[in-house]
Structure 1
Amino acid sequence: MSQNAAETSSPAVQAAKLRGILESAVTAIITIDHRGLIETVNPATERLFGYGAAELIGQNVKVLMPQPYRAEHDGYIANYAGTGVKKIIGIGREVSGRRKDGTTFPLHLSVSEFDAEGRRYFTGMIHDISDRQHVEDALRESERQLAQSQKMEAVGQLTGGIAHDFNNLLLVVTGNLELLEPRLLDDESRALLKEAQDAAALGSKLTDQLLTFARRRHMDAHVIQLNDLVVSVTDMLRRTLGEHITLSTSLAPEVWATRADPGQFQSAIVNMAVNARDAMAQGGKLVVETRNMVFDEQHADFHSELPPGEYVQLSISDSGTGMPPDVRDRVFEPFFTTKEKGRGTGLGLAMVYGFVKQSGGHVTIYSEVGHGTTINLYLPRADGASVEDAAGAKKADTDTRARETILVVEDDERVRQLTIKRLKLIGYQVLEAHDGPSALEMLRRGDEVDLVFTDVIMPGGLSGREVAIRAREMKPGIKVLLTSGYAEELVHGDELQRERLKVLRKPYQQADLVAALRDVLAEPPAAS
């Protein structure tokens, strides 16, 4: 063997080559011993988990695992050592990892084993699949929305056809009843005729509602101002809702005009208010809001049925019982109702849906059990209106003064990732947590945070308001901004005002986010 060949095959050279491969690999590679203690990590592992090599070597590898994997890991190794049954070795599977900052992420783990100097070792190769999972989640949500849209379209076509044919039948019935009326002379016969005419009138009203859902009803559309229509029905709503419901309005000044049938728009408001009332049998709050909205390409991910453009938004929020996802996804279907028999036809919200769709807009619903419901109507801005306001709104999409670090606390993965992108675009440093306890743990560790930006309603036992209170106790002077899909009055509005906490309403525009953050960061520290 030549001298060069001997040199390149020497143990030292081979070890150097192996180190070079490990250090240049983009995949995280970890070696552990038979007890689960970390022997080696490569730089990709440090980047992925946020630990330095010195912090990991000698630690049990379960430090990189969230529950339940952390509690079960030592048992896996012991079971394999005792039985030889492989659950992951040589197979690979998708699990979750836990970073140093407490956040979790999806990963693909493949494990192999080898023996050296009479000892058994395991090597784990770890791929971060967060991006893939985000794409898959977005695809599933898009497929769900498409299926829901297609179902509503099919139901609308079927309903419209039935209503059209039923109207023809009613025309024959009512016409013959009118011809029969002058021939009836005794009171008993006329009473029977009156009952038949009343039933036919109810049938006509029913078909009118069905045609509204099917978007086949004649629309007497005009350019209208939302605020004027809301004010015009406020007194009637108070009588309809009763004394046990507190009604308030939050009407944005200079709301753009839209084009719609004013009568049907008022009926939509009443229908949504009546549904909200029925969800608050013990009393509660109802809030009607208006505002302008500009949807860009980013918003298309969450409002795929709305093309980018300018819209006016009407929201009705209640503090009622809320609804689970399976009910929420069906509330706009005709004849679907959760009320007891005789208390509703199931057509109120179906009419709202049909009216908004026929007006070129879209409806969304945000609801959680025990926290109430918000229904948002989006209608296009009327043609011919100036776009200067929208241009002005977009001029503050970034902030040259942004230097602070913001902790984003949001349980919805898609919303959290979008928020992180937006904050980084503005210029902020960003940390993330998926729930309240994780956020507080990061603050307890001493992570540098200037502002906590948290959703109000989250799983994990802590609301955004409670996170804000505890964050201020742990770190006096820290700033907090809350965000919610509900109206501010419905998320402990009085307490928020006393505690100097502001709420940014979802969905919000980039300019709204910039302005809200700058306002909160400029405030003097709240008293602890």
Structure 2
Amino acid sequence: MNDSIQTIKNNEARMRAIVETILDGIITTSELGIIETVNPAVLRMFGYSKEALINQSAILLISNKYRVEYAGYLQSYRDTGVKKITGAGTLELEGQRKDGSIFPIELIVTDMVIDGVKVFTCVVRDVSQRIEADRQRKDMENRTKVIVETVADGIITISQVGLMETVNPAVTRMFGYTEAEMVGQNVKMLMPNPYKEEHDGYLKHHRETGEKKVIGIGREVQGQRQDGTIFPIDLAVNEMVMGGVKMFAGVVRDISERVEAENRRKDVESRNKAILNTVVDGIITIDKVGIIETVNPATLNIFGYTKMEMVGQNIKMLMPNPYKDEHDGYLKHHNETGEKRVIGIGREVEGQRKDGSIFPLELAVNEMIINGKKHFTGIVRDITERKQADKLKEEFISTVSHELRTPLTSIRGSIGLLTGGLAGEFSDKAKQLLGIAHNNTERLLMLINDILDLSKIESGQMDFNFEEIEVLPFLKEAIESNHGYAEQHGVEFILECNIKSSKLLADSNRLMQVMNNLMSNAAKFAPKGDKIKISATRHHQQIRISVTDHGPGIPKALEGRIFDKFTQADSSDTRQVGGTGLGLNISKAMVEKHNGRISFVTELGVGSTFYFDIPELVTNQTPQALSAMNKHTAQRILICEDEPDIGSLLRLMLAQSGFDSDIATTAQAAKELLLKNHYVAMTLDIMLPDKDGVTLYKELRENSVTKNVPIIFVSAKADITKNTPEGISFNGSVKWINKPIDEEHLIRAVEAVIVKFNTQATKRILHVEDDADIRNLVKMLLDDSFEITQTATLQAARIALTREDYDLVLLDIGLPDGSGLDLIENIRKLPCAPQIMIFSADDIKISQSRIVAEALVKSKTTNDELIATIKKLVGS
């Protein structure tokens, strides 16, 4: 008996231990659902103490959502004894913890009778982790499905015997089949031979041996589309086991574009290689310390070495002195500072062949970065033959000059004597023949002279004798020398020159040749009775000389090439005017030799103005005639006018007074040009097609870029508009001109607003100086009336010039990264180039002083002299 009792106690202890350690919650309730016992798992699961649960309704542990359902289930079970829980007696619902949080549970309810009383046992399982795992699994399946359906690569699963089981949309797009046409079919349908014939044998071999001859990543093979086309693919195949069954997954990528690009790259490489091997120029690559890395065959031909003798050697082996001695220093300096003293196009130097002979060559060097490392490419051209040809050309010019001009002069002189009556009277027919001979002799001489002049200019043999010339007497002489030509064509040259005692530093003979060309062209194309105006104006430290006719104008198609060789406004065989077509080309070259510029404005049916600008020679100042930078500083005006005739008239008037101009026919076009270019002033019509001029003016004044542009209103309503309440108050930066336009009034108004603007605006100075004390001194001397930007290096100065416009560059020569003179070329290329003033401790050579507006030596210049010179140059 005792053993039985002990056994019972042991079983009870065992069951109690199981109940208290099991992870599932176990609850017993009365028939009415009142909690009688709970195990520790229930307490952990719901967050209550045992005391808080005993004698409470079990509904306390169920969320509101399921309490009615649970109560109904218990009542039905008590009444009928039928268990309505779906599945194997499991009810899925939601539990509610003491803190109110809801979580998913599974509930199993059974009944039992203890001491004749029916009670319920509830087993509760927290299924949060399982549901979360299911959710994550479904999310992963959905993500995988989306990825598979959207990737560009095709994904195919096939059975052990090669039947396709799934395909993604990329496969159908790639091969041209539908999914239904592919699933269940052998994957061989996507293969051309020999892959199709080999496939079954491969699968059989793999099943029997396990050897993987194909499985791997990125094997390039071929696929075959439904239409039979064969294309390159990248194929990766791997095994997988699903449900204990071995399968294969294939990833297919169409690499047609990649293969085509690779073929194009190879073609380019082949072409480049062929070019490098056939060009007559030598091409050499070197590393950053000058070691030769590659050479093409032309290099070997030029220098006489073999490839083995050159590659790996220093490039100096191809140089005679002084280039050889200077090379290492140049490379070191370049690698340390980045300064390029040699790199460029077409620099003439000398090379040295293997046999020691020295020859002239043209060298172009440029940097390149390969794999992050600096290299240099040099293109070398042997110019020995060109030098010899130049010499022969010089000799030819000399010979032609003598051998052609001399007999033609004799012929012309003889014909002149005959027509002058030296040999007596001739018949009318003989006179006609002599006239033809005379005209054609003159024409031939003109052609020969032009060709010889052009050859001399191109070869640098034309001499220029620069001297001071007075502008007014020079123009009077030009009119006098062309008087006969004017009479011949029935026109008249009239002079308009309001400037007095102005001088140029020029070759009067060469400049007269330019005048003769411009005036003869005007006379040839002007209508009979035309008064051709010859004018001179002072403009931005330059003298502009203009020739204006009222002829037919120049067609748009010819405007861009009017200064080219053998170009004429009327190039037909039936043209009524003579000429070689070289005059304007020669004139352009001669003006540029004076460091000036030549241009024109024209309008069909209105006329043309040809003009050239040459820097004025100012007394007690460095001659401006040789200032190469001044030819870039012409003042430009924007004409906003929708009437083409009025716009052309304004342009011609402004050109004669020294201004260049652009025409905008709408307000929008004017705003775009103002943001793109620099203009010293703007003429503005009130009536515009897209916006009235007053509204445009107000918009311009609100824009920080255009707010200071001087405005001249040119309108038939000028007097009315400026006095209306909505109009614009009269001030120094706004002028009003009535239509019809009075030219003198217009020019005075333009000059007045520009002067007003220039005197009011703060002058901007770029000071390039590496000495900090000098920079501070200049900054103190130039008070707040100047806006100063200071830099200590060439590189910083170049950056500053790209960001801001300046009125003056105050330039030192000796800078840490090179000579200040190297900056002048950068300044010349600016659309609105500033004045240049050298202020250096070095003595200034004459050749250097002539390329700038002023040159002062630090040790020889007082503070007052420095400030006075700066103010003079910027007009302050």
TM-score of the superposed pair, with normalisation by structure 1: 0.42
Question: Could you say which structure has the greater relative contact order, defined with CA pairs below 8 angstroms and 6 or more residues apart?
Answer: 1
Larger C-alpha radius of gyration, 1 or 2?
Answer: 2
TM-score of the superposed pair, with normalisation by structure 2: 0.27
